[in-house]
A and B are shown apart, each in its own frame.
Chain A
């Protein structure tokens, strides 16, 4: 293989190779080239996204750590802080779904651990192709098993997440895992290496050949040949991770570590060079001291292996013995593999000889590419949609049952029932609500978390969809009574080297940033997954937002479930949107009942969104309401049915005031349209006066009362709760050939 073939095979371009020549002032050897190839991959180096990511606002009064560390950190109060981040494991999961998903969970846990925080919650955003394809059913089943298999065993509860099915993800699924950790503000750990002569200690599992070039693999399109890259997928061992967590937390508690860093993509190379670059020092790695799982490994393999369940630490020489003894107590490996040096390089030493040496700052400084943002033609095509001619359904009962049973709206119980969501005994609001709520032991405080993504919306309108994604997370947290504080994101997109992919990326980031600014919610960490394309095309542009919020009193929260018979139900917020847009454009109704993905969904009115969300939160905090739900897929009708089923209490919709409340003059838009900034709340009737005064200045409509065993909209819908449940609570894993409302279920 000649030089050009070699660097091309490693995923480096001609110009990148020439830049390496310039930086080093000489030709790199194969080991050094490997280091550059993994560190300059999109996955590690953010080549295509870094210039765009600068747009995100990062500052806020509660931010203790913004982007650039292993995870973002925000202050909660009472001396506590939350470390959190979401990360993708899409490509590995597409090839080997169980291990790909499992190690995605393991990896994000270590990012949180690296901040010194105890991991206390997991969430997952998943996307698959429709379940009518056997391959998609297999991927879905195995990904969920992998998440459960790892998360359950490692003892971190999986408290939330979301999933959607669409043809756009056939062949290119998405697995985004988010972890949240809890830490005392004074105990925050940074990853920068300091102190010449300090020792570099590798903790955890032995190093094998698994995941060689995983970061490079994750930065390329998936092809038929990807199957042959199965060996690029790591294998997880949650038991080893559990012991690694306990050991690292103990080492920190005993104040034995100078710094701590996880080993993820690009293995020791990434961790050591980031630690060195962060501290402005160099690191010597004696590569032959790295404990191996297999023989005959080359130095470059040991340096870039992505073997799981490992952490890299910097330790003062006098503490080394104690550190290694503690590792032994927890039954995990602990080995001195190098030292901090004053030369600024990442040096690889084998048998006492330097076999590779690269300035750490160059590895951490991948080249960036800015491209022209050009609006793709497809946007004009899909915007064409005549909703005036869309007929009203003949039978709303049938429509509602079919929508409730659709995999995108069906109960997620058969998924989260496979995840331990209570271990740790902190889970106050369990999965199934708009957001999960956890308490902080020893305080009244709590925090809430949600992950949200709106791929279809972002496809139809990248900027509007980006804003709506952030708005949805903001609404979800507000609905449980939490004050949104900050967010992390995972940007899942297609190939940025193509016009369409780059436009979607740039526009989604713009929309998200506008919403972040309007809401005062900064971005404190994130991850980018590009090249999500196969021969079948690109995925929907799918930025996933993981947002956290704070509850000053965790007992003052709300859930969607109806609580009592006779509660008054009010819808609020929706009519503040610009009225010339149809709430059916880009809706679930349009996709599920008419097979159409078209139209531009109503723009998110950011000011109105914030006002309405803040109002709902205030009413929950003051104890005025304890039942709230935001409208999303399936509109009013699906949201109300969900509230009824969750509470086991029926609902009676008063006569629809079609003329007064809706420009279309049709029940269809009111019942199944999807607007931002819409909420449903329920409360004891005797509080109606107080609620009314809280609502003054807002658009709202009191729509009916809870009670009984039936779900009714006068003249349109009349179903028993059992009929709703029979449709909604079906097993998502039993789908092949299942009958839904008398017809075949098709995703």
Chain B
């Protein structure tokens, strides 16, 4: 399976994501922001970082990068896409996911390990987990405070589209939301970084449960 990782100017978890793809046993493919080409990727990860310096608003400029054209088509056709941290922000700005990520309510950057619960295994990125399974994942963000209007939040809850939920809310997110998916369930955005806990050498590979889920798609 070929998994593409987008590289915007200012992305800084791109190399980590590419490394994690190797560890999960797939073929990593670098997708340069200026090339409108997914290079035959079977799935795409939009990694964390500070694309375009987070200038204007996190993700606001990256959504206009050339690589986003084919990425949006791929997502609409049901291709599995995972946005992590800044990637989640980019996917929200591109309207591939509902809602927005505001500044943390305590107004500080937060780097920590948090407990999250997998709320649905019905996405290509959580199919390897169990419903209700608890994971410990790293976070590192200044704008991770998930926001959506009440109707959207109600829909997300009703349709089972909250993917990850914090056990202890680190940033003020509505409904303790740490990750959501789109209506088609193929596009997932999460604030925690599964790629940072994908190597036992660093003490935990719980993130691989999320990343490896997508491998099941290869047989579909």
Residues of A with Cβ closer than 8 Å to B? 148-149, 152-155, 237-240, 242-243, 329-331, 416-428, 439, 441, 554-555
Contact = CB atoms under 8 A, between A and B. Distances in A.
Interface of B: 9-10, 12-13, 15-16, 19-20, 34, 48-50, 52-55, 108-112, 138, 140, 142, 193, 195-196, 198-199, 201-203
Contact of B196 (A148, A417, A422): A422
Given A152-B50, A237-B53, A422-B138, A242 B10 contact: yes
B19 A441 contact: yes
B9 A330 contact: yes
A153 B109 CA distance: 11
A425 B140 contact: no
Nearest to A424: B16
B202 A425 contact: yes
Given A155-B49, A420-B140, A243 B12 contact: no
Contacts of B202: 425-428, 439
A20 B15 CA distance: 51
A579 to B, nearest CB: 42
25 contacts: A152-B109, A152-B111, A152-B142, A153-B12, A238-B53, A239-B9, A239-B52, A239-B53, A239-B54, A242-B9, A242-B10, A416-B111, A417-B109, A417-B110, A418-B108, A418-B109, A420-B111, A423-B12, A424-B16, A425-B19, A425-B20, A425-B195, A426-B202, A427-B202, A428-B202
Given A239-B9, A331-B9, A417 B19 contact: no
B16 A153 contact: no
Contacts of B140: 152, 420, 422-423
B12 A242 contact: yes
A425 B190 CA distance: 18
Contact of A239 (B10, B13, B19): B10
Main secondary structure of the interface of B (DSSP, over half): mixed
Contact of A554 (B13, B34, B201): B201
A555 B200 CA distance: 10
A561 to B, nearest CB: 12
Contacts of A419: 109, 111
B54 A153 contact: yes
A428 B196 CA distance: 11
A157 to B, nearest CB: 9
Contacts of A154: 12
- The 7 residue pairs across chains A and B that have the minimum distance between CB atoms: A155-B12, A239-B53, A153-B50, A420-B140, A425-B16, A418-B109, A420-B111
B138 to A, nearest CB: 6
Contacts of B16: 423-425
A330 B110 CA distance: 29
Contacts of B193: 422
Contact of B109 (A148, A243, A428): A148
B111 A239 contact: no
Nearest to A554: B201
Given A422-B193, A428-B202, A417 B111 contact: yes
Contacts of A239: 9-10, 50, 52-55
Contacts of A243: 9-10
Nearest to A148: B109
B99 to A, nearest CB: 23
Nearest to B193: A422
Nearest to A153: B50
A137 to B, nearest CB: 15
A423 B15 CA distance: 10
Contacts of A240: 53
B12 A421 contact: no
A162 to B, nearest CB: 18
Nearest to A156: B12
Contacts of B15: 424
Nearest to B207: A425
Contacts of B10: 153, 239, 242-243
Nearest to B140: A420
B53 A153 contact: yes
Contacts of B49: 155
Contacts of A555: 201
A498 to B, nearest CB: 40
